[in-house]
Structure 1
Amino acid sequence: MRERRDDRSRRMRPHRAAVGTRTRNRDRGQLSLTVVEAAVATLFVLAVAAGFALAPPAPASESDSLERQATDAASLVASVPAEAPGTLLGVACTSSGDFDARAARLHEVASAGLPNGAFVSLRTDVGSVGRPPPETARVGTATAVVPRCTATLEVWYP
């Protein structure tokens, strides 16, 4: 009888070992394929978003830059106060003599915010100041309007 027990225990041992191994394999955690796909998709979306966020901005075209510079200069010219009531441009447009007396100051104000190498030309009904752009120049144009005067301002590079 003793042999039987030993026999049984021998037979049972391989079975128990196999069951124990299976149980251990089942207890070991495995990552779900859905979780892996979600993690990869999240990383991909974050990488694309970071690419857009960190990419340098597209350079503005040169004509847009010239137009912006001309608009800024025209705003400056239209807003500078005069020693009399009104703006410098409005007082300058009163007559040709007044324009000539204030032409240097108008040119100075119009050129104030421009980068080096840029030229400015300002034309009104009563006079003009600055060199007009040559036909081959890149030009940005804007208009400054104040009471009694409309001025066309051109910013250009040779």
Structure 2
Amino acid sequence: MSVSNQRQSIHYTQDSIDTSYPHSENTVSTDHRHPDDRAQLATSLIESGVGALLILAVVSGFLWAPGETTGSTAELDQLAADTLHILEGEIPSSSEQSYLMAMCDTSSTIMTEQTLLRDRVAAILPPTVFAQIKTPHGTIGPAVPVGGHTGQAVSIGSRCTVAIEVWYV
């Protein structure tokens, strides 16, 4: 056997050389995948994980959403009394008298203070509670629903009587 037969020449073709790395121009690539085919499985896993988290967030939003609030009449009565007490003590910046005294004046005063009073009552009460205020000059707020729990409070002043009725939405 001759020495020339023992040596086998290795020929490299352009397809078998991995040219993706500049520092290894003469290395033989055993991976026959296209460079764009890499990381497809990981991307799919990430997308499915994000999708599962999105579904979990929507489901948990329904599970942990506050349910129907069924407060007792005593709780609503206390809430109505507290609201009237706050309105008796506060003086709006546009007036020199409390909200309740302003409501006892005339119907024209009621009309000018109505928006301010409605906003103040909405700020005092929790977001799930509505109120209707009755004065000798009119009613402020939405109509009281029929057949539900409501709370009531009355303030008897020197010039008029103001009643408030609150309920859960």
Q: Residue 70 of structure 1 corresponds to which residue in structure 2?
A: 80
- The question of whether the paired residues in 2 share the 8 Å contact of 1:73 and 1:111 is answered with no
Letter in 2 for 1:108: D
> Tell me, which stretches of 5 or more residues in structure 2 are unaligned?
1-70
User: For the pair shown, which has the larger CA radius of gyration, 1 or 2?
Assistant: 1
Structure with the bigger percentage of helix: 1
The code of the aligned residue for 1:148 comes to R
Q: Identity of counterpart residues, as a percentage?
A: 24
Q: SS of the residue aligned with 2:124?
A: coil
Unmatched runs of 5 consecutive residues or more in structure 1: 1-60
Q: Given the alignment, which residue of 128, 139, 149 partners 1:117?
A: 128
The TM-score, its normalising length taken from structure 2, stands at 0.52
Once the two structures are superposed, the pairs formed by residues 13-24 of structure 1 within 5 Å of their partners are none
1:55-108 Cα offsets, whole Å, 9 max, x none, are xxxxxx621111111111111122221444322221232111110110112222
Question: Paired residue for 2:138?
Answer: 127
Q: Contact 1:89 / 1:106 at 8 angstroms: preserved in 2?
A: no
- 3-state DSSP of counterpart to 2:132: strand
The residue type paired with residue 84 of structure 2 is: A
Which amino acid is 1:62 matched to?
S
**Which residue pairs with 1:46 in the alignment?**
none
The Cα RMSD (Å) is: 1.8
Aligned-partner Cα distance in 1 for 2:164–2:133: 5
Deviating 4+ runs (over 4 angstroms):
none
How many angstroms apart in 2 are the aligned matches of 1:85 and 1:114? 24
**CA distance in structure 1 between the aligned counterparts of 2:103 and 2:143, rounded to whole angstroms:** 19
Task: After TM superposition, give the deviation of residue 148 of structure 1 in Å.
Answer: 1.4
Which residue number corresponds to residue 105 of structure 1? 116
What secondary structure sits across from 1:81 in the alignment?
coil
CA distance in 1, matches of 2:156, 2:89: 10
CA contact (8 A) 1:121 1:154 kept: yes
